[in-house]
Structure 1
Amino acid sequence: MDLSQCELLERLPDSFGSMTNLHLMDLSGCVKLERLPDSFCNLTNLHHMDLSRCGKLERLPDSFGTLTNLHHIDLSNCGKLERLPDSFGSLTNLHHMNLVCCRKLKRLPDSLGNLTNLHHINLTLCRKLERLPDSFGSLMNLHHLDLSLCKKLERLPNSFGSCNRIKYLNSSCCSNLTISSDTLGNIRTLEHIDFSGCGKIELWPLQLAHQRSLKILKLTGTNIKELPSAIEVPTDLEVLWAGSPLLDTLYPLLGDLKNLKELRLKDCRELKCLPASVGRLSQLTQLEVAGCPAIELLFKKVREQRETVRTLKFNSSIHKYMPCLQELTPQDTEISEVSFDEGVCPNLRKFILRECINLVEVGTLPNTLTYVKVSSCYNLRSIEGLSGLAMLQSLVIRKCNELHELLSVKTLVALESLYAIDCVKLKSIRELAQLTKPSHLDVSGCLELEKLEGVEYCRSLFQVVARRCPKLQGVPNWLRES
């Protein structure tokens, strides 16, 4: 039965329970519905019930547990629902339970542990939820648990470690959540853990070391300070999001994460360095270093005229140094130079430099690159490494205020788009005539730009965008933006 969007429906008749063969009930969007009749308990063949967006629904009938064939219940956005009846634990065939944005829900019944067939629980944005019942560990078939933005939740129950089939755990932005050393118990099936934004988490749960199936681990914004010295690092980790201050002690073990594919370090304001062992991450495809101004990740400190220079210098002495890395994104760091030794990152495709305000020079780059972006690097003076990038398809340079000239453009034989925007001191781009594939050229905001040498021979170009380029001359009218 579909009564969804019946916005004027205030109640159901008592005779409603006579439809005993009903399998599906959709009351979603019945925003004025305040209660269900007691006769509802007679719908014993009901499999699927949708009460989402029933914003005035305050409670379910105490006899709700008689719906023993119910597989799926959606109570999302039932903003006045404060509790579930104790009989809820009788719904032994329930597989999916959606309680997203039940803003007044404070607790779940202790009988919840009887739902041994429950696979999926979503409690996102249950802002008043203070605890999970101690019986939670009896949910032996639970695969997916989402607790994100449950800001009053302070801990996971001691029994949680008995949920030994769970694969997905998201407790992001649970700002009061703490994790004890034995929280995860004997679980070995976790593939995705998200603790990002859990600012009170300071201890690394020992059981993380035993998560052999772990693929995604998010720690952004936690306060984890150290790892136990005897920790055994999981070797099946695919994705690590680490944005937590003082997480330095994690990284000497990174080289043991043989299957790590994506490493994102965001807003690690106190993070000082990563060891050379990161180069042994043979499956790593993406590396992001963002918002870490003091980072010395893979950098060498060298002395030049009494001045310390931080250099992003990849060391080729480590055999097969990050051979699968495809995307590298340093952002908001103190590096002043970038250079790759020969053979390092031999499969790098995408290289993005953002807001590295001390960056002066970009040296040798891997010749496998197809996309390069350098943005808001205000002191960048030269990009020497463009020479020979025969696979480069897109080059984006933006707000590099000290850049005067682009060199070696003629070697970019695969280049399809070139953007040099708001580079206020850029005077010329030369040797464009030898490029056969470019279709987009944007030099807007280059106030000192005087010429685009050879642009008239670029027959593949659709147009040249040159807004706010008062000194630019020599661009044929048929190419200029209309």
Structure 2
Amino acid sequence: MLDFLQVAFDRIFSPELQDVACRWKIDLVKVKSLGVTLAKIKVLYDEAEVKQLTSDDVKRWLHRLKQLLYDAEDILDEYATELLRLKLESTGPHQTQQVQEFKRFGSKVKEIIEKLKSAEQQGVALGLNSRLGPGSSRHMVFSERPPTGPFAISSKVFGRKEDKDEIVKWLFETPSSTDNNFSVLSIVGIGGSGKTTLAQLVYNDPMVENAKSYFHLKAWVCVSEDFDVVRLTKEILEAVTQSSQPFTSLSMLQMKLKDALCGKRFVFVLDDMWNQNSERWDALTSVFAFGERGSKILVTTRSKSVSKIVRTNPDYDIKGLPEEHCFALFRRHALIDGNSSDTKQKMKAFGEKIMKRCWGLPLAVMTLAGLLRGKSKDSEWDDILKNEIWDLRNSEILPSLMLSYHHLTPPLKRCFAYCALFPKDYVFHKIELVMLWIAEGFVQPSPEGRKRLEDIGSGYFDELFMRCFFESSDCSSTFEKFHPFGQPTRLNHGEDLFSKLSYEFHVRSFFESSNDTGSRFVMHDLIHDLAQYVSGGIYCRREDDPCDNPSQVLTTTRHLSFLTKYCNVDAMESEAMKRVRTLLDLTNHLQYSSIKELLPTMKCQFQFIRVLRVRCDNILELPYEIGMLKHLRLLDISFCYIERLPDSITSLVNLQVLVLTGCWKLKELPKNMGKYLVNLRHLLLPVGMIHNDSLDQMPLIVVGNQGREAFVANFMNMPHLLGLRLRWSAYESENSFGDLGRDEKVEEDVLDQLQPHTNLEVLWIQHYGGTRFPSWIQDPHAFSKLENVSLLNCHKCIFLPHLWQLPLLKHLVISGLNAIKIVGSDKFSSRYGSSSNKQFQSLETLHIRSMGEWEQWLEQGDGQFPRLYKLSINLCPKLKMLIHQFPALDELEIGDCEDLKNLPQHLDSVQQLRIKNCQKLVLLPSLLCIKTLTLDSCTYRWRMDKNSASTVRLSQ
């Protein structure tokens, strides 16, 4: 069965819901019949996914089938939702009415089964074979990429000299200590970026070609998708011996290759590698160890996962060509020089504009140049320039990028296509996508439910990043490039509301300032075009254009985003909107007149809505009808002026994420939220100035003072709440909300009462105004599952909690705790255990930043930080020295620590060391494994320990 539908079936037939069905005598026979029908049609679906690229009939059939599958998922979700509501609610008239609903569901299922059977017959008539086994159609349509060879015409290559020289230099570098006689470098980039061409330039560089006394043997092999160890071994053997080999047995081929390599240094190029199976890689390279020390292998690949398998040096990420080189390449292939001077000038002007769309990809440049070759009319060039999604079917860029898409698993395909909802240049956070994917049902649970959905979704994101569908962004503002209306005034510059959300689970985002780019990502323009191409009308984005008509939303649209502050309610009431699952406001500033009319109509118009994100300063209340959106998983109404949530919100039994950031007037939450919202995983609440009155009157209550509110929630009764983010309002000014307006004791009392359930895994505290942290935060017995902790801008705290006792703590961020002078003091030892215990036994990453008064870091006995692999310390100007216990440290970053004089003496495991603006630090310790050393703004003369590795990349 299709993966996303399997999740719905597993939910219905879970033991807890089966008990409900048995108790209320609800017949699920038709649901089982639907499962049988879907299992049959899955094979046709898989085959059609490939055949649609060459058959418009198959493409249309697949599009209709997808709509039926969405309908099937909706009815299955209704089944599961109503069963869950029956389980949660007591017996009464309402439950009797719910049971009657299942009869209506049964007729719906019967109708869908009939439609699916009809679709199956139509698919078979189109040549799709339901009797084929799973995966049998995987390679039916895609033609193999033409084999590559080692030669490139260098005169036709532009802008790669520096890249070539750097890799050639690597080829001749003296190898550092390694277990193998050979080392590997991966050239990584998306399809069409010029990886193969660069490898050809390196392979044929005169320095390499004439160094036959150094590299005795050379071989070029086109690996492609089929990583056949026998074939590849044979091709390498034939290349180094320059003779045909009759052998077909791997053992015989390896024996011959061993003899050929023994005592000789080689350079091999493995082009277009896709393999992610480490056993196959080891099988291929096992014989390479017989070559002479200093042998090199150059791999080209689209996936960073491949470079992990081959245990490469730091990847060589190929960059886009500069604009001038792009245009030179474009001129050559568009044959501009052969035209008249007037035409040449016009074509040059158009060409320069078009080049901006190519993002420096040589293949894109050559493709567009080919499309424009022979076209001399302005209108012909203008059409191409204005066409947002170029004619990919007739463009060589489509197979290049579509091949990467084709290799994604079905869940990853849906996650990638979802990105079509965002505009080009949209800079997003990892957790923003992960939480949306989870809410949409794209993230598949692990077979035994042992992994959190957040972790699985994070793996999806990492996989797309590794395959170059996403790339890190250097943009300082999430909406700066495209947002026409600006952000709400309460946001810091460059801070997106979802960036607040992102701190909840992605630990590397916890400590980042708004200027940090480490947690921000973007899609290449051509990758974005691919997302739109594969979205097939299911994902629709409406932008603020006077000519744009929201009523043009297709009847097939299931997910809708918009960047217009005006929402056409009449258009929203169209038939096309009734099946929409996603309504995503990307403006953060929707007009009140629109949202006031929109919300009450939602029950009728958005029956299947799962994600609702609308924000408006002037909305004062949510309508009761919000509780009728029973499929809703994510509700984000940040920065609304609502004073309370309607009691009907407790009917949203599927709700996973509730975002109320910036709802400063909110005074009350419904009493039974903890009881009925059993799937709530993330709750973001505004925390601010408080009084300590009536804290125990209600299970969930909001109390406030002068418009600055705080939630005091019974989080201890929320076992599904895995992440908790507590953010007090920042110190904005002395007059409006400074130290004089805050009561340290009150804030301490409230934080004491905010103790969450013991299932908590992530805790994030920012702008807390107390002088101490609560005792519960350091209780290793109560919080044995806590993995991620971030303490940010808690300026008055003078002692750190004893977090070293938490057994599973993996990621810790401490930033802006300016009152702390000593870290590691035993003066205030914990009641939960002795400081002699092994400390931070699970900690993997530690980030400390902006600790203006921190002077000392005290040793606390042996056994500290046994697993810490990344340590970052920045903006700690009074810190004088570090402790010495980092046995597993791989990355060390020190920045703006002006008083720091020495580094730990034993950093034997460190591979990456970055030091910036540490004026008194003059001696580097032993660095036996160092690969990358970066020194920046360090004016003293440096001395390196004589035992340090000699091969480092040094930039200053």
Matches of 1:33 and 1:133, distance apart in 2: 38
**SS of the counterpart of 2:909?**
coil
1:121 aligns to what?
635
| 2:856 alignment partner in structure 1 | 337
CA separation of 1:88 and 1:66: change in aligned 2, threshold 3 A: farther
Aligned 8 A contact 1:151 1:173 in 2 = yes
Matched AA of 1:401: Q
Contact 1:210 1:232 in 2 (8 A): no
Equivalent residue for 2:758, pick from 230, 235, 239: 235
Do structure 1's residue 418 and structure 2's residue 928 form an aligned pair? Answer: no
Residue 356 of structure 1 aligns to a residue whose secondary structure is coil
* 2:579 aligned counterpart, secondary structure: coil
- Three-state SS of the structure 2 residue aligned to 1:89 is helix
Pair 234,138 (structure 1): closer, same or farther in 2 beyond 3 Å: closer
Kept after mapping to 2: 8 A contact 1:50/1:73? yes
**Quick one: distance in 2 between partners of 1:252 and 1:391?**
35
Q: Is the 8 A contact 1:214 1:234 kept in 2?
A: yes
Structure 2 Cα separation of the partners of residues 34 and 183 of structure 1:
51
Q: 1:266 aligns with which of 792, 799, 812?
A: 792
How far apart, in 2, do the equivalents of 1:74 and 1:365 lie?
51
Identity of aligned residues (%): 20
Note the C-alpha offset of 1:34: 10
- Whether 2:730 is the aligned partner of 1:215: answer no
Q: Is the 8 A contact 2:923 2:945 kept in 1?
A: no
Mapping of residues 114-263 of structure 1, within 5 Å: 114-124=628-638, 127-129=640-642, 131-150=644-663, 153-158=666-671, 160-171=673-684, 181=695, 185=699, 200-202=708-710, 204-205=712-713, 207-221=714-728, 224-226=747-749, 234-243=757-766, 244-246=768-770, 248-255=772-779, 256-263=782-789
- Structure 2 distance, partners of 1:49, 1:389, is 51
**Counterparts in 2 of 1:247 and 1:381: CA distance versus 1, 3 Å:** closer
Matching residue of 1:321: 839
Q: Residues 177 and 132 from structure 1, CA distance in 2 versus in 1: closer, same or farther, beyond 3 angstroms?
A: farther
1:392 aligns with 2:900: no
The one-letter code matched in structure 1 to 2:862 is: E
Task: Tell me, yes or no, if structure 1 residue 98 matches structure 2 residue 602.
Answer: no
Is the 1:286–1:326 Cα contact (8 Å) retained in structure 2?
A: yes
Residue 448 of structure 1: aligned partner: none
Q: Secondary structure at the match of 2:603?
A: helix
Which protein has the larger Cα radius of gyration, Structure 1 or Structure 2? 2
Alignment correspondent of 2:813: 288
Aligned equivalent of 2:52:
none
Amino acid at match of 2:890: T
CA distance in 2, matches of 1:259, 1:227: 23
Which of the two has greater helix per residue? 2
Counterpart position of 2:923: 406
Q: Distance in 2 between matches of 1:332 and 1:429?
A: 28
Give the Å deviation of 1:227: 5.2
Residue 625 of structure 2 aligns to a residue in which SS? helix
Superposed, which structure 2 residues align to 1:2-13 within 5 Å? none
Deviation at 1:234, TM superposition (A): 2.7
Matched, 1:369 2:889: yes
Code of the residue aligned with 2:936 in structure 1: it is I
Q: CA deviation at 1:317?
A: 4.0
Structure (1/2) with the larger strand percentage:
1
Q: CA deviation at 1:108?
A: 3.0
Q: Distance in 2 between matches of 1:154 and 1:86?
A: 22
Please give the secondary structure, in 2, of the residue aligned with 1:121.
Answer: strand
- Measure, in 2, the Cα distance between the counterparts of 1:134 and 1:231: 22
Q: CA deviation at 1:92?
A: 7.8
Unaligned runs of 5+ in 1: 6-22, 187-198, 303-309, 445-482
**C-alpha displacement of 1:268:** 0.4
Q: Secondary structure at the match of 1:118?
A: coil
Q: What per-residue deviation string (whole Å, max 9, x for no partner) do you get for residues 52-85 of structure 1?
A: 34544353489x4999963525262553513126
Structure 1 residues 15-26: aligned runs within 5 Å: none
**Deviation digits for residues 217-246 of structure 1, max 9, x if unmatched?**
111335842258788753222111112221
Q: What's the CA shift string for 1:295-341, capped at 9, x where partnerless? A: 26743289xxxxxxx9xxxx984322110111222323333233543
Question: Which residue in the other structure is 2:12 paired with?
Answer: none
What amino acid is the match of 1:274? L
Distance 2:762 2:887 in 1: 26
Which piece of structure 1 moves more, 100-109 or 286-295? 100-109
- How far residue 87 of structure 1 moved from its aligned partner, in angstroms, is 4.4
2:728 partner amino acid: G
Task: For 2:543 and 2:625, locate their aligned partners in 1 and report how far apart those are by CA, in whole Å.
Answer: 28
Deviation at 1:113, TM superposition (A): 2.1
CA deviations 1:261-291 (Å, max 9, x no partner) are 1111110011121343x22201111222211
8 Å contact 1:284–1:325 — kept in the other structure?
A: yes
Cα deviations by residue, 1:105-143 (Å, 9 ceiling, x for unpaired): 44432222233333332334x545555333222223322
Give distance in 2, aligned partners of 1:25 and 1:297: 53
SS at match of 1:81: helix
Query: Matched residues in 2 for 1:24 and 1:275: separation?
Result: 49
Distance in 1, Cα, partners of 2:818 & 2:674: 38
The verdict on how the C-alpha distance between 1:392 and 1:132 changes in structure 2, with shifts beyond 3 A counting, is same
Instruction: Tell me how far apart the structure 2 counterparts of residues 295 and 131 of structure 1 sit (CA, whole Å).
Output: 38
Equivalent of residue 379 in structure 1, options 892, 895, 899 = 899
Instruction: Judge which range, 252-261 or 174-183, deviates more.
Output: 174-183
2:257 alignment counterpart: none
In structure 2, the gaps of 5 or more residues are 1-62, 64-387, 389-536, 701-706, 730-745
Give, as a single letter, the amino acid of the residue that structure 1 aligns with 2:877.
Answer: I
Correspondence list, 1:67-106, <5 A: 70-74=579-583, 76=585, 77=587, 78-79=590-591, 80-83=593-596, 84=598, 86-90=600-604, 93-102=607-616, 105-106=619-620
Asked if 1:440 corresponds to 2:950, the answer is: no
Distance 1:65 1:271, change over 3 A: farther
Q: CA deviation at 1:292?
A: 0.5
Query: Compared with structure 1, are the counterparts of its residues 116 and 318 closer, same or farther at alpha carbon in structure 2 (3 Å cutoff)?
Result: same
CA contact (8 A) 1:392 1:415 kept: yes
User: CA contact under 8 A between 1:330 and 1:354: conserved in structure 2?
Assistant: yes
Amino acid at match of 1:299: G
Distance 1:54 1:287, change over 3 A: closer
Residues 557, 579 of structure 2: 8 Å contact kept: yes
Q: What is the aligned partner in structure 2 of residue 18 from structure 1?
A: none
- For residues 424-477 of structure 1, the C-alpha deviation after alignment (integer angstroms, 9 at most, x for no partner) is 3x2331345x444633113x3xxxxxxxxxxxxxxxxxxxxxxxxxxxxxxxxx
Higher relative contact order (CA 8 A, sep 6+): 2
